[in-house]
Homo-oligomer: A and B are copies of this chain.
Amino acid sequence: MKGKIKIVTIGGGSSYTPELIEGFIKRKDQLPIGEIWLVDIEEGREKLEIVGNLAKRMVKAAGLDWEVHLTLDRREALKDADFVSTQFRVGLLDARIKDERIPLSHGVIGQETNGAGGMFKAFRTVPVILEIVEDMKELCPDAWLVNFTNPSGMVTEAVMRYGKWNKVVGLCNVPIMCRKIAAGALKEKEEDLFFRFGGLNHFHWHRVWNREGVEKTGEVLESVYTKPDGLKNAMQGLKSSGVQNIPNIAFLPDQIRDLGIIPCMYHRYYYITDDMLKEELEAFAKGETRAELVKKTEAELFELYKDPDLNIKPVQLEKRGGAFYSDAACELIASIYNDKKTTMVVSTRNNGAISDLPDDVVVEVSSIITAGGPVPISWGGFDSSTRGLLQLMKDMELTTIKAAVTGDYGTALQAFTLNPLVPSGKIAGTILDELLVAHKKHLPQFQEKIAQLEAESR
């Protein structure tokens, strides 16, 4: 990696792009960027123009000579890339609305990452990411793929397992938020704490120690997760309002204490399913599911982005919910490029880091980021309060990815059956079928089954 760096962002028309550009600008001394290519598809052309022009203004305002290219030609962009980041959304936000509303219409959580909705996001995304990997093998075989398209863990697993591409890292902002919350709860600076994260994307736990080597995990658990205002208090002073995707409903204190390790926000879906469902059903009734809100926020953001005088990331973006996501991508790229050995939490090959899972699956764990990629820090084993649930979720992921690759309907139904967020039985089949038909356009691998479903319903 000599000379100027070429960075390609697939899904460049995303509302997050300004954060990404800001992240690169902040690291201008670490990253000798030559070109940034923002790639999108025909349907995203308008958004790409708007956000791409903002990106250009931001770069210019920062006094940098980086070339910012906007293109619909992915292959042209990928040619000789050094880093490829992926933040695309197959089917755009309308697809997410279906992912969330169709399950909810049957009284079932949709959840765009690990619920039925997230599984469909995987079904739509996996074939596309595998195409991108094939292009990369040909056009930029030495590049790193930095994925933050959700479900980030499953997408990363698909790239390694079926794409046979190892230079990939999956990213997420949830661990970043977890760190900030713990620091807030302990009234410590984040950099004064040592964290160990272990689990899967949106399904990990962590432990924390202070500068004296004293484990503070129990203290965080107690103050944040067993008190009504615990989380709010811990987040005071945080500029960002956190992971907007997830309502801050209280966990069950006794269960959390028994756990002994700190869950992530997304564990609410598994640990307090009933309350989460209630909340989601209310949002559903009001037409205010997360996807619908985000769509509205995005429209507002793009209005802002159009302002030809705007040349910095607008503060409103932080409400969007994915705060820190793009910044994490920039930090990861800078860490790889500079062999910084930063410790970050990423989706990567397990390699024994979690001894309850096979070596060759993707996990989300604290890792040292070297020029050769992430090297996980050992977590060790979980106890029986956690181990089996983690193992189930990993197998749910593997089954989902298998279905995404093969287009096998039975495997898809199996994945639904395994997912604790989807009730088993006829209802699983019904939701699966409706989602298949609804997403018909983006599920070529399932076309035969979809045609059959349509024929039956006529």
Question: Which residues of A are interface residues toward B (Cβ below 8 A)?
Answer: 1, 194, 196, 209-215, 252, 254-255, 257-259, 270-276, 336, 339, 341, 343, 350-355, 359, 368, 370-373, 375-381, 384-389, 391-396, 398-399, 402, 408-411, 413-414, 417-418, 420, 423-429
Contacts and interface: CB of A to CB of B under 8 A. Distances in A.
A252 to B, nearest CB: 6
User: Chain A: interface secondary structure?
Assistant: mixed
25 contacts: A194-B339, A196-B375, A213-B336, A213-B370, A252-B413, A252-B425, A252-B428, A254-B413, A258-B408, A270-B424, A272-B424, A274-B426, A351-B355, A351-B379, A352-B355, A352-B380, A384-B402, A387-B391, A387-B395, A388-B388, A388-B393, A388-B394, A388-B396, A389-B392, A420-B420
Contacts of A373: 213
Contacts of A388: 388, 391-396, 418
Contact of A214 (B214, B372, B377, B393): B372
B372 A375 contact: no
Contacts of A378: 350-353, 375-378
Contacts of A274: 423-428
Contacts of A410: 254-255, 257-258
Contact of A355 (B258, B355, B417): B355
A213 B371 contact: yes
Contacts of A215: 372
B371 A194 contact: yes
Contacts of A354: 352
Contacts of A418: 385, 388-389
Given A212-B339, A352-B353, A387-B395, 13 more contacts: A209-B372, A213-B371, A258-B410, A258-B413, A271-B424, A274-B427, A351-B355, A351-B379, A375-B377, A377-B377, A384-B399, A384-B402, A388-B393
Among A275, A368, A387, A425, the most chain B Cβ lie within 10 Å of the Cβ of A425
Contacts of A391: 387-388, 391-392
Copies of the chain in the assembly: 4
Contacts of A252: 413, 417, 425-426, 428-429
Contacts of A336: 213
Contacts of A393: 388
A1 B271 CA distance: 38
Among A257, A379, A418, the most chain B Cβ lie within 10 Å of the Cβ of A418
A350 B352 CA distance: 10
Closest 3 CB pairs of A and B: A213-B371, A388-B395, A352-B355
A214 B271 CA distance: 43
B209 A414 contact: no
Nearest to A354: B352
A161 to B, nearest CB: 11
Nearest to A208: B372
Nearest to A275: B425
A355 B376 CA distance: 13
B425 A271 contact: yes
A413 B272 CA distance: 12
Nearest to A403: B258
Contacts of A398: 384
A254 B258 CA distance: 38
A418 B252 CA distance: 13
Nearest to A192: B339
Contacts of A254: 409-410, 413, 429
A230 B398 CA distance: 31
A417 B352 contact: no
A257 B412 CA distance: 12
Contacts of A376: 377-378
Contacts of A351: 355, 378-381
Contacts of A380: 351-352, 359
A12 B392 CA distance: 40
Contacts of A257: 410
A42 to B, nearest CB: 35
A209 B371 contact: yes
Contacts of A194: 339, 341, 370-372
A196 to B, nearest CB: 7
A19 to B, nearest CB: 26
B392 A425 contact: no
